[in-house]
Chains A and B, each alone.
Chain A
């Protein structure tokens, strides 16, 4: 994993986990790797991974089960998908549109490349 200089590490780790959940690697109700496992495999401070997991718990992507670990929450994949859609529609797409305007590219030009 390459730590890009854009988001804090703990968010990058959280995002990576989200991507894997969205891709179906773990379904709702399945256990995700333990904090320590992730920390060791990445060579990062376990407290950082803890922060990622806290963040994901708040976002209700995963949930802790005492003594057992962290499990994918209900409809986690759905939540992730919805959030990705929202991000795309509210932030990424307007940016693309702006660039298209700047470059003078029209939507019909894009259709040709499909």
Chain B
């Protein structure tokens, strides 16, 4: 479990997070959303132990992230959006170099994922396109078999068939003891994968809830006429896509992009609607 308590972080005097608390549990694929520059990558880096909190704590299985304890590092991988790789290395050499440090490394999984993503593991990185490099890295880090997988914009640069393949691969990778955090703008690429959803804004967490809770509390409908009191309305072919608090009790499929816009426009209301700390057990 990743626990973040009262986290403060500033970058060159500019505050990024103020008093943020949240928990990432096992067996879930978290979606981390937020506007540009709000700190999604920073949060992932803090969890990975690459940046220290200015105040507050961030622990992974009880170990402080910034200590970069080998016990923690063995269980966590972080894939940044842009990975700079040694030109002359190949995916195979790269992964075999890291493998001895990860007890749950699975070489056959690596080769299978490379096949599914259609990239040659013996080809040098410098001969690959950016998308192929990205796919290689996805295969590499998943095969290391860690409990925590942090992905920053993983679908960025992937072609359309690869995006489907990515979804299937991530779906099959989820286990009871695995936590996956995907930070992304390309919500449509992962909309049926991510559950719970965390929406970050300037210095705070606006939403931290599971899909079930979201669809129980908020409805997404396509109506002929615009409702002025809706949390968010957007004109689409066919009428108005509208986001409203769910009064009827019937669940509608969650439109994540609309949800995002609605949350940004109605911060306080959303906070009230989802007024619970941490667990969804107090339903």
Contact among B27, B28, B171, B252 for A8, CB-based, below 8 A = B252
Which A residues touch B255, using CB under 8 A? Answer: 5
Chain B residue nearest in CB terms to A49: B171
Bound CA span A39–B29, Å: 13
State the CA gap A42–B164 with chains docked (Å). 9
* Interface residue ranges of A55-107 to B (CB < 8 Å): none
Judged by a CB distance under 8 angstroms, whether B215 is at the interface is yes
Consensus secondary structure, chain A interface: helix
Q: Which of chain B's residues has its CB closest to A13's CB?
A: B192
**Residue in B168, B211, B220, B222 whose CB lies within 8 Å of A43:** B168
Within 8 Å CB of A8, what residues of B?
215, 251-254
Within the complex, what minimum Cβ distance (angstroms) separates A114 from chain B? Answer: 32
B201 to chain A, nearest CB (A): 24
Interface size in chain A (residues, C-beta < 8 A): 20
- Chain A residues lying within 8 Å of B211, measured Cβ to Cβ, are 48
In the assembled complex, the CB of B193 is this many whole angstroms from the nearest CB of chain A, namely 5
Known: A3-B192, A51-B212. A45 touches B174 (CB 8 A): yes
State whether the Cβ of A113 lies closer than 8 Å to any Cβ in chain B: no
Q: Say whether A45 contacts B195, CB under 8 Å.
A: yes
A44 to B189, CA, bound (A): 11
Interface residues in chain A, defined as those with a beta carbon under 8 Å from any beta carbon in chain B: 3, 5-9, 11-12, 36, 39-48, 51
Tell me the B residues contacting A by CB distance below 8 Å: 27-29, 164, 167-168, 171-172, 174, 192-195, 211-212, 215, 220, 222, 251-255
Contacts A9-B253, A39-B174, A42-B171 supplied; 9 other A-B pairs, CB < 8 Å:
A5-B220, A6-B253, A7-B253, A8-B251, A8-B254, A40-B168, A43-B193, A44-B192, A46-B174
